[in-house]
């Protein structure tokens, strides 16, 4: 989708249109991109569009979640007056979970850390469709976040993003940033043996192009659905049977040595704080 910068009411209307399309297509869950309710290049506008979790506009989508689960992106205005990039999982008329972006981007084109507070946790959570996790855009550029989500039992990792087009890669002249995301999502799906749902926005803001190319990948790294550069609704069946077959064929999660990882990280932490 292509949200309008700072226009919450217009963007809420867009969400309702996409939710209705997904409902007509008999989807169980619809995933919106990073900051889908607000637009991305907010800077100090973030303080004007930040939403409490009891905001009436969010309540409209919570009500919609009684018939279809929804992941929606916004700026959360927390009780202690922090402003965080958030994605909420709405289900059965409730907020099931809220993830705050842990790794803010403050380099190159980006200035998130100047205006927004970073999240402080990575968790998987239970839904009526199994155990899932949300990681927002830059979070996926830090493998530790993926490892934590998988270790916490996530079978599906949702990746709402606002990734701009940058660079040209290869003879086919594919955007370099798109190529990198294709590689990241494929490798993570294979190595963690889980489904990955990458939902990237489209359109322009402040001269920045967001290229879309959302995709859904299976636990073997195969692409199940792929969108182009225009706003599009894509869907796929994320079956437990596919997960079972992939984990029998590639038992990487079974063989992961979590205690080794924890022990060595604890050792490294002790060395660093001396």
pLDDT in tens, 4-21: 999 999 999 999 999 999
> Would the pLDDT of 168 be above 60?
no
Considering the entire predicted model, what is its pTM? 0.94
Place of tokens 């489209």: 202
For the record, the structure tokens of 203 come out as 């359109």
The 10s digit of each residue's pLDDT in 103-142 is: 999 988 889 999 999 999 999 999 999 999 999 999 999 9
Distances (CA, A) of 74 to 6, 7, 44, 160: 10, 12, 14, 11
Q: Are strands 69-77 and 29-31 parallel, antiparallel or unpaired?
A: parallel
C-alpha of 9 from chain center: 22
- pLDDT at position 274: 78
Upper half-sphere CA count for residue 2 (Cβ side, 13 Å): 13
If pLDDT is split at 50, 70 and 90, which confidence band does 53 have? very high
For the record, the structure tokens of 80 come out as 């202690």
Give the number of other Cβ atoms within 10 Å of residue 108's Cβ: 8
């Amino acid at each position: 989708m292509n949200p309008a910068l700072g226009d919450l009411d217009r963007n809420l209307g867009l969400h309702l249109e996409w939710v209705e399309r997904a409902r007509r297509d008999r989807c169980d869950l619809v995933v919106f991109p990073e900051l889908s309710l607000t637009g991305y290049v907010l800077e100090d506008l973030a303080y004007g569009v930040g939403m409490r979790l009891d905001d009436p506009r969010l309540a409209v989508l919570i009500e919609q979640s009684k018939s279809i689960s929804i992941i929606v992106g916004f700026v959360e205005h927390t009780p202690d007056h922090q402003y965080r990039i958030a994605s909420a999982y709405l289900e059965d008329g409730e907020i099931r979970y809220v993830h705050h972006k842990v790794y803010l981007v403050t380099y190159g084109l980006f200035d998130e850390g100047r205006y927004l507070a970073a999240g402080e946790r990575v968790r998987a959570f239970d839904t009526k469709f199994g155990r899932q996790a949300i990681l927002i855009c830059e979070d996926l550029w830090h493998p530790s976040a993926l490892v934590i989500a998988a270790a916490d039992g996530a079978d599906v990792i949702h990746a709402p993003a606002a990734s701009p087009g940058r660079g040209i890669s290869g003879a086919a002249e594919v955007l370099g940033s798109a190529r990198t995301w294709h590689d990241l999502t494929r490798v993570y799906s294979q190595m963690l043996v889980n489904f990955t749902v990458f939902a990237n926005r489209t359109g322009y803001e402040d001269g920045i192009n967001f290229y879309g190319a959302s995709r859904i990948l299976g636990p073997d790294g195969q692409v199940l659905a792929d969108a182009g550069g225009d706003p599009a609704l894509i869907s796929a069946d994320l079956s437990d049977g596919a997960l079972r077959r992939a984990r029998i064929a590639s038992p990487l999660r079974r063989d992961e040595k979590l205690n080794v990882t924890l022990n060595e990280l604890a050792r490294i932490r002790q060395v660093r704080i001396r």
